[in-house]
């Protein structure tokens, strides 16, 4: 990372950060914050006005998502951008295996450099879109932050969730409206009932709203049906063209 970038805009970690990062992991979080406030701004990953409020608005808000992730889970963070929330969760939780999925090269280049510098051997950076992993990998937990409305988000994330896994997405005040709008999708693809909760109570204000969507029945998940339907459409196509 370039030492020519001014580091004067990097805020120091607030005392409350010690409640989500251990003494061994906090220096890594502080270095990541420094890189975001410098290299991240230069690369256009975050706006310069965001740098002074990185901890309250971004890092702590993302770190508390770890409360909703079981120990030892494999995690896929789709549309991770500059690493929010996936990279922050990985810093806080070395017990997790985290894959960061992001289509833009300038972002994955930054993420790869951060992962290498911080020595995060349990983190993999994958350049591409979430749907490019469909049918290739599955994970215990699929996370995201401000990626898309719930119905569209589930179309990307649920095919990546293992039969006993779930989508765990950070959402805002409209989460219940999004759940209502996604009702037909949830039923069609055999998703379980969405569970809304708050994490980070007493750490971030307001607490982070999280929606968790599992499969309704691990033995009858919706994704294989979608894959079979796609295969049937592909077979019908050439016949229709004759």
Match 């490019």 to its residue by tokens.
132
Q: Where exactly are the structural domains of the chain?
A: 15-231
Helix, strand, coil percent content, the chain, rounded in steps of 5? 45, 20, 35
Answer whether residue 125 shows pLDDT above 90: yes
Q: Helices (DSSP H) in 9-66: which residue ranges?
A: 26-35, 41-42, 54, 60-63
- CATH superfamily, region 15-231: Vaccinia Virus protein VP39 (3.40.50.150)
Q: Which of 32, 6, 26 is nearest to 118 (CA)?
A: 32
Q: Judge whether 146 is annotated as a binding position.
A: no
pLDDT tens sequence across 34-78: 999 999 999 999 888 888 889 988 999 999 999 999 999 999 999
Q: How many CB atoms lie within 10 A of CB 60?
A: 24
pLDDT band of 220, cuts 50, 70, 90: confident
Rounded CA-CA distance 186/240 in Å is: 31
Q: Judge whether 26 is annotated as a binding position.
A: no
Q: How many CB atoms lie within 10 A of CB 4?
A: 7
Peptide bond into 85 cis (omega under 30): yes
Rounded CA-CA distance 165/158 in Å is: 9
Question: Residue 11 is encoded by which pair of tokens?
Answer: 């805020």
Q: Judge whether 31 is annotated as a binding position.
A: no
pLDDT band of 224, cuts 50, 70, 90: low
pLDDT tens sequence across 2-15: 333 444 456 789 99
Question: Residue 115 is encoded by which pair of tokens?
Answer: 């992962």
Average pLDDT, the chain: 88
Q: What is the pLDDT of residue 223?
A: 67
Answer whether residue 113 shows pLDDT above 50: yes
Q: Judge whether 84 is annotated as a binding position.
A: yes
Q: What is the pLDDT of residue 227?
A: 47
Q: Judge whether 4 is annotated as a binding position.
A: no
């Amino acid at each position: 990372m370039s030492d020519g970038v001014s580091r004067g805009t990097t805020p120091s970690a607030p005392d409350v950060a010690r409640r989500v990062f251990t003494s061994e992991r906090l220096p890594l979080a502080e270095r990541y914050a420094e890189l975001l406030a410098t290299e991240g701004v230069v690369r256009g990953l975050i706006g310069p006005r965001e740098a002074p409020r990185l901890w309250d608005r971004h890092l702590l808000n993302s770190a508390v998502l770890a409360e909703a992730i079981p120990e030892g889970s494999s995690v896929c963070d789709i549309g991770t951008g500059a690493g929010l929330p996936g990279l922050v969760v990985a810093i806080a939780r070395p017990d997790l295996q985290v894959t960061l999925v992001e289509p833009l090269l300038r972002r994955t280049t930054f993420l790869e450099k951060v992962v290498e510098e911080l020595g995060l051997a349990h983190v993999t950076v994958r350049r591409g879109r979430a749907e490019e992993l469909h049918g290739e990998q599955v994970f215990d937990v699929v996370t995201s932050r401000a990626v898309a409305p719930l119905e569209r988000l589930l179309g990307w994330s649920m095919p990546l969730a293992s039969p006993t896994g779930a989508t765990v997405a950070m959402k805002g005040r409209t989460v219940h409206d999004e759940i209502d709008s996604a009702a037909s999708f949830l039923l069609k693809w055999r998703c379980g009932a969405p569970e809304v909760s708050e994490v980070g109570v007493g750490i971030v204000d307001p607490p982070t709203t999280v929606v968790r969507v599992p499969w309704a029945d691990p033995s009858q998940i919706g994704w294989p049906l979608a894959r079979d339907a796609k295969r049937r459409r592909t077979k019908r196509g050439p016949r229709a063209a004759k």
